[in-house]
């Protein structure tokens, strides 16, 4: 509002606004998936990858690596 006056969008401005809102909404799911993948990747590197090699060497119990990967997937669901 300007001086308590409402300013309306032109039809063209409304079409552009609607297109921008749709593009933002359409990209929301992709951004959410990307964030989950980024979080999982970081957690795998920091927590799970070393367990794989330790498990292969017999330094930790069998299934430790798989359990950690499952835990990470539960922590960051798609």
For residue 4, is it within any domain? no
Rounded-to-integer distance, Cα 23 and Cα 7, Å? 24
Residue 28 lies in a domain: yes
Instruction: Give the Cβ contact number of residue 68 at 10 Å.
Output: 20
pLDDT of 29 over the 90 cut? no
Q: Is the model more confident about 43 or about 28?
A: 43
For residue 71, give its domain range.
Answer: 11-75
Check: CB of residue 48 under 8 Å from CB of residue 69: yes
- Mean pLDDT (the chain) is 92
Distance from C-alpha of 39 to C-alpha of 31, rounded to nearest angstrom: 12
Q: Kindly state whether residue 5 falls inside one of the protein's structural domains.
A: no
| pLDDT score recorded for residue 25 | 87
Indicate whether this model's pTM tops 0.85: no
The answer to whether residue 18 is domain-embedded is yes
Domain contains 26: yes
Q: How many domains does the chain have?
A: 1
Q: Give the residue-averaged pLDDT of 24-40.
A: 92
Residue 3 lies in a domain: no
- Environment class of residue 73 by beta-carbon count within 10 Å: exposed (0-12), middle (13-18) or buried (19+)? middle
């Amino acid at each position: 509002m300007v001086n308590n006056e409402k300013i309306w969008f032109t039809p063209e401005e409304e079409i552009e606004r609607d297109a921008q809102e749709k593009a933002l909404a359409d990209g929301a799911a992709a951004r959410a998936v990307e964030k989950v993948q980024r979080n999982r990747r970081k957690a795998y590197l920091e927590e799970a990858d070393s367990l794989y090699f330790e498990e292969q060497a017999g330094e930790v119990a069998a299934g430790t690596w798989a359990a950690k990967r499952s835990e990470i997937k539960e922590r960051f669901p798609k």
